[in-house]
Structure formats: structure tokens, C-alpha cells
Structure 1
Amino acid sequence: MEQYTVTELEDALKMVKRLLPPRYECLACYLNRMLEHGCSGLKWCTTYRDMRAPRATAMERRFPELGGYCDCEVMANIFRTNDELWPRLADGKLDDEYVPPCHKVRLGTIKPCELWSMRTGVQWGGGVFRAIKRA
């Protein structure tokens, strides 16, 4: 049986902690972070659902209907940035380098925070993107 040092175990736990969705982080912010680790199916979506929104069982059926067959397609076709809340460069373009911190959502939802709009409806012409409004 192989023995691990305390430092090796701590490093492994830190890596696992980075891969799990923090409490109250929305699905879109989590996906945006996790896509740097690659895309293979709905792996990150289902990880989020299993950890933070286990009752969202229709997600795996609905996302492909909206054009999200894998995690990167979910970010491309289902979630869009709410441009009003993202920082801009001097020339007016969105700053791709800085990602604002998640505005947080309640546990149990796959809806995005205020930083994102989510596509709803399946119709030709791309459906409708609706910003999440908070009271």
C-alpha cells in the first residue's frame, strides 16, 4: 500500500475543492470557470446539478433542446453575458481578461446570476434571452 505525505494529500484536496461548485455560485459562473479544464459532454453541468441542484432533473433533456449538447455549447447557446454588468475596455469592448465574481443564486437552482442571461424557448431565430431580475 502506497503512503502519501500530508503535503500531497493537502494538494489533492485543494485540487478537488477547486473543481466543486462553491455554495451559492450559479451554473453559468461555474461553467465559465470549469471550461478551462476542458469540455466532454455535460460533465460540468451534471456535476453542478448533482452538488447544488439535485432536483433539476430535466436539465439533461432541456439543454440539448436549447442547443447545449456539451458544456461549451451550453455557454455558447444557452447563457450569454449581461453586458451591462461586465467591465469594458477604453474602446468600449468587453474586457475578456476580467471575470466579475458571481452575484450568487439560491441553492437548488440552475438559473444564472445577474451576470448572465439564459435562453428560454425553442423556436427558430434563437429563442429568447432573458436577464434575471432581482427584487
Structure 2
Amino acid sequence: MTSKYSPEEFLRVLERELAAIADDVMQVRPSECLVCYVYRLCGLECTGPELIEEYQRRAAPRSTRLLERLQGLGASCACELFFNVYQPLEGFIAIPIEVYVASPEMCAELGIAEPSIPYDADPMPGFPCLGVRKGSTQPCSLWRRHALLGTWKH
């Protein structure tokens, strides 16, 4: 059986398809807040500031000092958004944080039990962001500021 594409054409088509899929995944859901967006896409895994910048580009382009403002609160990257600035409402996430943070390799490095939920599982299946107004960079009402910086309450 022969393909209608040469190997080079096949790779270009595949790259376009993968780029379209990635763009779909990266879309901000209607009225989705910054914190839910970052958490939905990376859990507590650190991706640097890229997801924060992507949210700004897609949902809040007028918020030109977003990263600077978050850095002032202690979040210069995605994971610090959760470890230093925002935490879920009391009782909202009852699963220990290491379930979301740790890959099998990280578990071994940290000396903790491997997660009971697959590492690549969606950390918020069916997670409904409570929504914010268009262009807002504030969290929805599922999140609150940390009482003590650097302290995660779970």
C-alpha cells in the first residue's frame, strides 16, 4: 500500500495536525480564570512562565504587566502560582499534593510513595472554573490567596 504523501509531505501534514491539536488544547475556555487555566494545563508541574504568558496573550492582552505583578506576589513561574500565591478553597482538593506533583522519577528522588493516580492523569477531571469576566487575570472564586506565603494548605 502506498501513501499519497512523500515522507517529507507526510511530516509537514503531521506537524500541521499536531500544531492544530496543541492550539485546541491551549485555548482558554469561556470565562476560564488564569489560575484554573494554568492548573488545567500543567497541574502543579512547572512550565516556567510560558502558560501565564499564553493566558495573557489569549485572554487578557491588555494586562501587559501580569507577569511582573505575579512576580511581586512570589510567582515567577507556573508552579509558584500555586505554591506561593493561590491555593484552592478549603477542602476543594483533598488529594495530597504529591499525587499531582510527582512523576515516578520525582517520587524516587523525593523518597515518597508513587502516586495512586497516573502521573499524566488530568488533575482536575471535569473541573469547572467558576469563571471571571472577559480580560480578567484574577482567579475565580475556587481559589484564594495563601494565608502564609509559601505554605500550601491541603
Question: TM-score of the superposition, structure 1-length normalised?
Answer: 0.68
Distance 2:95 2:45 in 1: 22
Q: Is the 8 A contact 2:34 2:139 kept in 1?
A: yes
Structure 1 residue runs without a partner (length 5+):
88-93, 127-135
Where does residue 57 of structure 1 map in the other structure? 64
Q: Secondary structure at the match of 1:30?
A: helix
What percent of counterpart residues are identical?
28
Where does residue 107 of structure 1 map in the other structure? 134
Based on CA coordinates, which of the two structures has the bigger radius of gyration?
2
Q: Is the 8 A contact 1:79 1:119 kept in 2?
A: yes
Q: Is the 8 A contact 1:26 1:105 kept in 2?
A: yes
List 4+ stretches of structure 1 deviating above 6 A: none
Deviation at 1:103, TM superposition (A): 1.0
Bigger proportion of residues as strand: 1
Distance 1:4 1:46 in 2: 32
Distance 1:12 1:45 in 2: 19
Deviation at 1:62, TM superposition (A): 1.3
Deviation at 1:60, TM superposition (A): 1.7
Where does residue 133 of structure 1 map in the other structure? none
The one of 145, 149, 152 aligned to 1:118 = 145
Distance 2:44 2:21 in 1: 15
Bigger proportion of residues as helix: 2
Moved more, 61-70 or 43-52: 61-70
Amino acid corresponding to residue 69 of structure 1 in structure 2? S
Where does residue 81 of structure 1 map in the other structure? 88
Question: TM-score of the superposition, structure 2-length normalised?
Answer: 0.61
Cα distance change, pair 67–51 in 1 and its aligned pair in 2 (3 A): same
Deviation at 1:70, TM superposition (A): 0.9
Q: Is the 8 A contact 1:68 1:77 kept in 2?
A: yes
Deviation at 1:12, TM superposition (A): 4.3
Q: Is the 8 A contact 1:21 1:48 kept in 2?
A: yes
The count of corresponding residues between Structure 1 and Structure 2 is 115
Cα distance change, pair 81–46 in 1 and its aligned pair in 2 (3 A): same
Structure 2 residue runs without a partner (length 5+):
1-5, 97-116, 118-122, 150-154
Amino acid corresponding to residue 79 of structure 1 in structure 2? Y
Deviation readout 1:29-86 (Å, 9 max, x if unpaired): 11112225953421000100010011111212111111101111112111110125x2
The one of 53, 61, 66 aligned to 1:46 = 53
Cα distance change, pair 37–17 in 1 and its aligned pair in 2 (3 A): farther
